[in-house]
Structure 1
Amino acid sequence: MNLFLVALTAFIGAVIGYSVIGHGKPMDVLKPSMWMNLFSTIKDLLLSKEA
């Protein structure tokens, strides 16, 4: 039950964050391409700080 609530909260937070704050389409958070782009951006930011 607790794991379900954590997953549900994370999903709702991602939908709200991406659609309200990021002005994207709410269901785009389910697209793997969106997550690949996000992880790529974070990786680039982390690597640029190391240099």
Structure 2
Amino acid sequence: MASKNDVRGTIKLRSTAGTGYTYMTSKNRRNTPDRLTARKFDPRARAVVEFREER
């Protein structure tokens, strides 16, 4: 039997500020095959920066 989250995979969003801070989230790989970007708060840089999906 297939698992419930077959298509939905866990991804890691890494900060572009160079601090090494990451967020863990999930996305539907069938609907969004390209890399995900999001503007989130980086506590090490103390600013809102862009986070990109790491593979």
Q: Which has the higher strand share?
A: 2
TM-score for both structures, normalised by structure 1 = 0.20
TM-score for both structures, normalised by structure 2 = 0.20
The higher-RCO structure (CA 8 Å, 6+ apart) is 2
Q: Which has the higher helix share?
A: 1
